[in-house]
Amino acid sequence: MKALAVSSAAVLAVAFAATAQAQQYQMPMYPQTYAGADAIFWELDPDRGSSADSVGLRVNGGMKFNDYLAAEAHLGTGGSDGAVDLEYLVGAYAKGILPVSQEFRLYGLAGVTEVDFDVDSESGFSYGGGAEFDVAPNLAVGADYMRYLDESAYTFDAASVGVRYRF
């Protein structure tokens, strides 16, 4: 009888621990949508003349298909250093994800962007990389660096920090 009570207690303890562990980490359901907002620190660097840099705002959204692949879009605006204003940037990217741990991910982005300055408008291939860290079950903070344009006469880059919410 004592062995049965000890066995029952052990089974209940294991079941309780497994339930608590399952509640702590829930497997995400795919596809999973997300949206975020970032402060972007951009720089327009011409081959000749002085560079322009400022701070703007970027919103992004996407769909994560699994732990390793997503599609993402960016829409940004704002910032002026006096000589150049960023009217808008809009882009679409494939996102490759490397889960380092349950809460931390590295990622790379590749796609196309259209950028409109008050003095010029261009579109082209874009790429970049970043990292994000979960601070709550559906909320992450992150940072990235993007080369939005690499034209023969100039480059346009931006670093960003912001938040993402997963639905």
Taking the C-alpha atoms of residue 74 and residue 60, their distance in angstroms, rounded to an integer, is 4
Whether 97 and 117 have beta carbons less than 8 Å apart is answered as no
- Residue 82 has what pLDDT? 76
- Residue 25 has what pLDDT? 56
Q: What is the pLDDT along the chain (167 residues), one digit of tens a residue?
A: 444 444 444 444 444 444 444 445 567 788 999 999 999 999 999 888 888 899 999 999 999 999 999 999 999 998 887 788 999 999 999 999 999 999 999 999 999 999 999 888 999 999 999 999 999 999 999 999 999 999 988 999 999 999 999 99
Instruction: Give φ, ψ of 24 to 5 degrees.
Output: -70, -40
Instruction: Please name the fold of domain 32-166.
Output: Porin (2.40.160)
Say whether 152 sits in a helix, a strand or coil: coil
Tell me how many helices (H) and strands (E) the chain has.
1, 8
- Residue 86 has what pLDDT? 93
Whether 74 and 113 have beta carbons less than 8 Å apart is answered as yes
Task: List all residues 6 or more positions away from 91 whose beta carbon is below 8 Å from its beta carbon.
Answer: 73, 74, 111, 112, 113, 114, 126, 148
